[in-house]
Structure 1
Amino acid sequence: MTLAAATPVYPDAIQQIVARAGALYSLPAVAVEVLRLTESPRVDVQALKQCIERDPALTVKILRVVNSSLFGLPREVSDLNQALALLGIKPLKLLALGFSLPESLFLSVARDQLDWYWKTSLVRAVAAREISEQLFQKPGDDAFLAGLLLDIGVLVLLGELRQPYAAVLSEAIASQADLAVLEHESLGFDHRQLTAGLLQHWNLPPLLTAAIGAPHDTRYWAHNKADHAHLVRVLHLGELFAQLIGQRRLSVLPDLLDAGDAYCQLDKSRLHDLIATLEPKVRQLANVLSLQIAGGEDYTQIIVQAHAKMSQVAESVAAPLSRGIANDAASPIEQESHEAQALILAKQLRASFELFYRSGLSGEVDVDQALPRVPNSNSEAPAPVLASPFGAMTAAASAASDLETRLTLEVGRCRSLRRPIGLAAIEAQSTELLDSTQTEVLERLMTRACNRAEGVTTIEQLGPRRRLLLFPGRDRHEAVAAARHVVDEIRSSLEPYCRSEQLPAVAVGAGVACAAAPAKNFRPVSLLETADRCLTAALRSGGVKSLEVS
């Protein structure tokens, strides 16, 4: 994806965001004290143990991880004294830091984004540790912590740039795109650089921050002798593993094999051996942290699929070349649709970031109020927010709970009456940022069209450009017809405003989820989740998309 104009470069942009984030997100007192106690070459082991024990939940997490297959200790460890005796100070220090993130970092993260964050982070952390120990025969504690913390910048950007960034993240998740590329196109930097800046602000070890912020240049780092070069190489491979396994980006397999060969002679055989050890350790770590990670794909099978895709790509290139024909075939329609959607969202993110940057410098505009909200189907999904392993509870979760309660009641009524139920998520996305007057017009047109819909009992407004419509007693065919009527009416109402350039181009779509006969064990929230997925597809391709939920 390439934006029409060059992305503006703001040399101090990262420092500006770090300064704001540093004021908003502070390390918990236990983490700060752990850093202070371990600064000295002669660490007071008893003081360190007492510091960690002041946080009982943290102590339990550390002991559970230490007793997991990740460390492979010969006997079970029942307290921190034993852990310190068997492992030493550094592993416990790193675990304490890795599991002591500020709870406020997770307040702006929707369910699908949090699931993506943890799945990616856990695979990366475990992979980096195993790569360091198995392929390089070096301790993997630093690699584990670096892998666990690398995506903190994503959480910060969600909190600072909000919906414009959330929309880009959701598109990257939906299309298995390279998030760092989208960020560079829109912002001029990526979240890894921001993570490094924030960790430096928190006074984490310089070796760690330098490795996280380093660009992933295989040729440069293959034989580099810098102090942090080993950690850069391990983290690069761990990130590629996370993208391949955690995000199912099958296209990164060639990059993984190339980097692996350059760094440590990693071939296909050693790759398969390493993959076989990752899956149980990632699952056990997720259980230890009380995380529910979606997706139960077999890691080995993902590698097989990636190899198959790599072969297909090679064949598709080789065939026309063997005939002396230039291969200028167009991309598949689905890929073009993703690229077009990403382009729209990246433009919105760039405009929002420029506003953020100017506001931050001048001090004349309240950045929190000035940044526009650009809804998207996933980031504003009313599905419940997954709890972080640090127990963050949010107002957003409370609002989602209210919506779930109303939905649960309606599903219960339809079940008792043996009637179907449908839910439509309708959204309007503009290609440009809207001012307050334009937003007001769009909101009024959407509200009017939704109020005219037949058979609707509940209209939930989620921001000025998104509505949820509940259709009790309507089957899939009827709910889709009603949603399509609403979409057509919104488009018709928008036409004169767009033609006269009072509004930019606006895409309108609807995702519909229906349950023909909700059973006793039916999850009402599955209607919300399915409608969201359908809405994402509808906004990319236009019109209305629907699915039946059983």
Structure 2
Amino acid sequence: MNRELLEEILSCPSLPSLPAVAVRVIELTASNDVSMKELAATIENDQALAAKVLRTVNSSFYGLRTRCATISKALVMLGLGPVKTLALGFSLVSSMGDQDPRFDFVGYWRRGLYTAVSSKLFAEAAKKKCSEEAFLGGLLQDVGVMALYRALGNRYLDVMKQTGGDHRKLVKFELTDLEVQHPDIGAMLTERWKLPAELVLPVKYHERPTAAPKECTDLVRLVGLGNLAHDVLSDPDPGPALRRLYQRAEQWFGLTASTVDGLLRRIAEAAKELSTLFKLDTGLAADAEAILTKASGQLLEISKNGGTGSQLHEGLQHDPLTGAVSREGFDATLREAFRASIENKEPMGLLELTIDDFKPIRQSAADLADEALIGVTALLKKHFEPAGGVVCRVSDEVFAIPLSGVTKQALARACEEFRTDLVRASGVWLKGRITGRTTLTASIGVALHEPENSAFQSVEHLLTAATKGLQASRASGGNSVRVVSQKAAA
């Protein structure tokens, strides 16, 4: 780290600073025995701040049934966390300003606000008790960027230009050119403001969530998901960011792809509303439906070209039509997953799936059948790759997916959400293109290997069980999931 430059930055008189009311709110809420009466009075002494807080509390973002007329009532109805969050959030926004035409304030506040909203909603979906800290962590995350600009001016703008507008490259160029990085500067600044550790640490680690200390892992990861959600709703090519978001949300918090889609819709609406309430220009409002449609198309192309970004697929043969792993690759993948399950004493699942009544489509509309298979593959990757699955195509309309480390609950949820998504998406693919068919459905067989319980003794036994499950699903009329236990498979 460049100590001389660091001293120059931190001693700059124009660095962002918190208003006195925000400093007092921090002091009061640092105590376990905080006086709600004194906190309410502190906020209400700043009439402009109190009006902003109440306007937001009474917005649809919080969804209160009864309107709040005072800060004291807001504290009773919402609790300390949301009121503190709004008081600090509005104070932070006012301390930054937005009058310098050389700096991209629209992009700065879009990233901050979209990340803040996303982090809060992801926290609530994951049932984590840090949704307010996640909101402020997202809003504060790039305060170091503002500090560097205030201190270095055009010198820092030259660094930012080298990124070509890709924020993910910013730390690299900061370290190369300045030997300091904005997460560290931001953390030092928030410590100077005497913010608690749960707000300082997300600022310090927001660019590398996996490096965060154990005590703040969830909080930093929520801000990380918020950043990915911002990228999905802001990037001209949202597909890659959506794929990363699906994977991280499942890996870190067990949130399914369908849950993520629903959250993105809520995030877009909430960010639009809060941009108005905070009086921030965050650019064109995100159209979540249009973005998800575009991203799904891009994921289709990725599937078609065999792109996965996963080491699980390296060196495996791929089906030339869909990009899924081929039958030969499936055999190798299944054996490796089974071996790792035994060795690591971790569960694994095997799913076999067939598209119901697919042969008539193949016979009468071959091109449509191919398009449908590509679409099915993309949906399978969307729902099962984040859960540790490798999507394989073993015959024309039959797929198999070995899943490493998956739980029974997660697998059941992914199956149901895939089936729902397939009906919805195939309605678009087939509309007006084939007589007598409006949607596609799937029959699914599942076998789950749990080493600590009664385990399958071989890959062949596991495969037989999944096949029996698929046969049972088809025999019941299709469009269903059947799980076969080791006892039933014997």
Label 1:318 to 1:200 Cα distance change in 2 as closer, same or farther (>3 A): closer
- Report the AA paired with residue 213 of structure 1: K
Return the alpha-carbon distance in structure 1 between the equivalents of residues 8 and 62 of structure 2: 36
Aligned with residue 212 of structure 1, among 175, 195, 203: 203
Q: CA deviation at 1:210?
A: 1.5
Label 1:104 to 1:28 Cα distance change in 2 as closer, same or farther (>3 A): closer
User: Please, what is the CA RMSD of the aligned residues?
Assistant: 3.1
Return the alpha-carbon distance in structure 1 between the equivalents of residues 68 and 102 of structure 2: 34
Aligned with residue 230 of structure 1, among 218, 227, 232: 218
The alignment covers a number of residue pairs equal to: 312
Q: 8 Å contact 1:211–1:229 — kept in the other structure?
A: no
Q: CA deviation at 1:24?
A: 4.0
Q: 8 Å contact 1:109–1:158 — kept in the other structure?
A: no
With the length of structure 1 as denominator, give the TM-score of the two structures. Answer: 0.51
Q: 8 Å contact 1:147–1:238 — kept in the other structure?
A: yes
1:41-100 per-residue CA deviation (whole Å, 9 max, x = no partner) reads: 211222211211121111111111111222222211111111011122232222211211
Q: 8 Å contact 1:125–1:238 — kept in the other structure?
A: yes
Return the alpha-carbon distance in structure 1 between the equivalents of residues 139 and 233 of structure 2: 15
What is the percentage of aligned positions where both structures have the same residue?
29
Aligned with residue 69 of structure 1, among 60, 66, 74: 60
Q: CA deviation at 1:292?
A: 3.2
Aligned residue for 2:64, secondary structure, equals coil
Aligned residue for 1:99, secondary structure, equals helix
1:118 partnered with 2:109? yes
Q: CA deviation at 1:180?
A: 3.5
Q: 8 Å contact 1:25–1:102 — kept in the other structure?
A: no
How do 1:148-163 and structure 2 match up within 5 A? 148-163=139-154
Q: CA deviation at 1:17?
A: 5.3
Label 1:102 to 1:236 Cα distance change in 2 as closer, same or farther (>3 A): closer
Q: 8 Å contact 1:196–1:212 — kept in the other structure?
A: yes
Return the alpha-carbon distance in structure 2 between the equivalents of residues 111 and 70 of structure 1: 33
Aligned counterpart, 2:408:
none
Q: 8 Å contact 2:15–2:150 — kept in the other structure?
A: no
Q: 8 Å contact 2:229–2:245 — kept in the other structure?
A: yes
With the length of structure 2 as denominator, give the TM-score of the two structures. Answer: 0.57
Return the alpha-carbon distance in structure 2 between the equivalents of residues 293 and 218 of structure 1: 25
The range that moved more, 76-85 or 25-34, is 25-34
Q: CA deviation at 1:230?
A: 1.5
Aligned with residue 19 of structure 2, among 25, 28, 39: 28
- Report the AA paired with residue 265 of structure 2: A
Label 1:173 to 1:300 Cα distance change in 2 as closer, same or farther (>3 A): farther
The range that moved more, 172-181 or 208-217, is 172-181
1:284 partnered with 2:284? no
Label 1:295 to 1:178 Cα distance change in 2 as closer, same or farther (>3 A): farther
Label 1:108 to 1:180 Cα distance change in 2 as closer, same or farther (>3 A): farther
Aligned residue for 2:108, secondary structure, equals helix
Label 1:132 to 1:99 Cα distance change in 2 as closer, same or farther (>3 A): same
Q: Which protein has greater RCO, CA pairs closer than 8 Å, 6+ apart? A: 1
Q: 8 Å contact 1:129–1:141 — kept in the other structure?
A: yes
Q: CA deviation at 1:297?
A: 3.8
Q: CA deviation at 1:22?
A: 7.0
Aligned counterpart, 1:106:
97
Aligned counterpart, 1:293:
282
Q: CA deviation at 1:262?
A: 1.2
1:253 partnered with 2:238? no
Return the alpha-carbon distance in structure 2 between the equivalents of residues 95 and 272 of structure 1: 26
How do 1:442-457 and structure 2 match up within 5 A? none
Return the alpha-carbon distance in structure 1 between the equivalents of residues 210 and 38 of structure 2: 44
Label 1:75 to 1:13 Cα distance change in 2 as closer, same or farther (>3 A): farther
Q: 8 Å contact 2:116–2:139 — kept in the other structure?
A: yes
Label 1:75 to 1:19 Cα distance change in 2 as closer, same or farther (>3 A): same
Q: CA deviation at 1:264?
A: 1.2
Q: CA deviation at 1:233?
A: 1.3
Aligned counterpart, 1:532:
none
Label 1:265 to 1:172 Cα distance change in 2 as closer, same or farther (>3 A): same
Q: CA deviation at 1:272?
A: 0.8
Return the alpha-carbon distance in structure 1 between the equivalents of residues 149 and 108 of structure 2: 12
Aligned counterpart, 1:48:
39
How do 1:415-430 and structure 2 match up within 5 A? none
Aligned counterpart, 1:424:
none
How do 1:366-515 and structure 2 match up within 5 A? none
Aligned counterpart, 2:187:
196
Return the alpha-carbon distance in structure 1 between the equivalents of residues 61 and 149 of structure 2: 31
Structure 2: gaps of 5 or more residues: 309-314, 319-490
Structure 1: gaps of 5 or more residues: 1-8, 325-550
Label 1:318 to 1:296 Cα distance change in 2 as closer, same or farther (>3 A): closer
Q: CA deviation at 1:282?
A: 0.8
